[in-house]
Amino acid sequence: MSHTFDPTILREYDIRGIIGETLGADDARAIGRGFATMLREAGGTRVAVGYDGRVSSPMLEHALIEGLTASGCDVVRVGMGPTPMLYYAEASAEDVDGGIQITGSHNPANYNGFKMVSQGRPFFGADILEIGRRAEAGEWADGSGSVESREIMAEYIDRLVAGLEGIGHEALAGLRIGWDAGNGAAGPALEALAARLPGEHHLLFTEVDGNFPNHHPDPTVPENLEDLRRLVSEKNLDFGVAFDGDGDRIGAIDGEGRIIWGDQLLMIYAEDLLRERPGATIIADVKASRALFERVAELGGKPLMWKTGHSLIKSKMKETGAPLAGEMSGHVFFADTYYGYDDALYAGVRLIAASARLGKSVTELRSAMPAMVNTPELRFQVDESRKFAAIEEVKARLSGTGADVDGTDGVRVTTPDGWWLLRASNTQDVLVARAESTDEAGLARLMEQIDAQLEASGLKRGPQAGH
């Protein structure tokens, strides 16, 4: 027996596709068989399985478990919840060797997919391609694993609340915070968490609904934060926190309704953490502001720019021993007193903790940041066969010019005006551009440089591509 996947679903960081078109029960079964075979070869036997609130998730869970058990792995079902709850189940239970969360993350309602972790490490890139190769060849172990259900939510919430340990109640009692779960999988966990936190909490859209009736659950898109902004303004709250569809990415706004982007959140977390861990390495992806890297250095930390992608960042954290990392997309990773995976609910708790320990409101912390003018992430369609080649051409052209180029992930060029970035997406046929300056005129000059490089490679910034 063998199985062939639609080639578009095996991606760099996860497996993701459109239900009924590129992804279905047979794919889930084959993923289970491949993952179980590889885990058993590595010495593991038990897999935790969780799923998000999408309409198709229970069907995929059923088929995935069939595949896992047919290749001899025992399954621990942790039920519906945010992706970080599944990561917690894998990281905290001594008898669990791997984990799979069924989730479409922040994609439209008709998408779904799988995020995987094996023996405490992200399972991505070559691992995912190996699942495809084994399926094609039918190279699967046979066996008959058992299935048990385990209630993990209460223990997970206890662990989140522990993020406030050591902070006096009086520092937290007056807090007033808004939260937006966006009808995603984090809703029930958020309700349980907010009930345990000191202060006053106002919650939006905690009912899990895979059709996302209120707004799309992607907190990096400003219009998706409008409901939260209105709530914070009407109730005069201290700040607001939003989650993506599966609860591993955080979005935030301060008391004045200003968005606090991923790199700005990292500046707050870094200031808090470096007081306890002076000299620590702090990692951010290539899309992050220069202000962040400068701030980390100023606070006595070691800033490290790394490739975009939650699996790549987690791997780099393990390699360097960094206690904190983050991405512009809102993935934030704490490994100081936590497990090193991306958990937006925990990041929300740590924002409360940082504000309390630093003795400043989130609005004050946001106001202290340098004013930068930057573009959002600009994404434009490029033929798959051209996307990496075009980046190499840009690198080659710039190499002889004496430009200040960082080639960690694509091309990041620093000039007196600021910096610009051009990189190929690992998951879609798009190029991603971003630029940042201290003023609009500088930003315009940086964009001209990007356009000139694209033109030299026969490309142009066409219509914006979606996620």
Q: Tokens 């600009």 correspond to what residue?
A: 378
Is residue 245 within 8 A of residue 330, CB to CB? The reply is no
Angle among Cα 126, 124, 100 to the nearest 5 degrees reads 130
Buried b (16+ CB within 10 A) or exposed e, 43-72: ebbbbbbbbbbbebbebbbebbbbbbbbbb
Residue-wise DSSP of 371-412? --EE---EEEE--HHHHHHHHHHHHHHHHTTT-EEE-SSSEE
Q: Is 361 a catalytic residue?
A: no
**Which residue type is seen at 338?**
Y
CA distance 441 to 416: 12
CA distance 62 to 47: 14
Give the contacts of 13 (CB within 8 A, at least 6 positions apart). 115, 122, 124, 125, 309, 310, 311, 312, 426, 427
Residues for the chain: how many in total? Answer: 467
Name the catalytic one among 71, 105, 118, 437. Answer: 105
Neighbouring CB atoms inside 10 A of 207's CB total 12
Q: Work out whether strand 98-102 and strand 404-406 pair parallel, antiparallel, or are unpaired.
A: unpaired
Residues assigned a catalytic role:
105
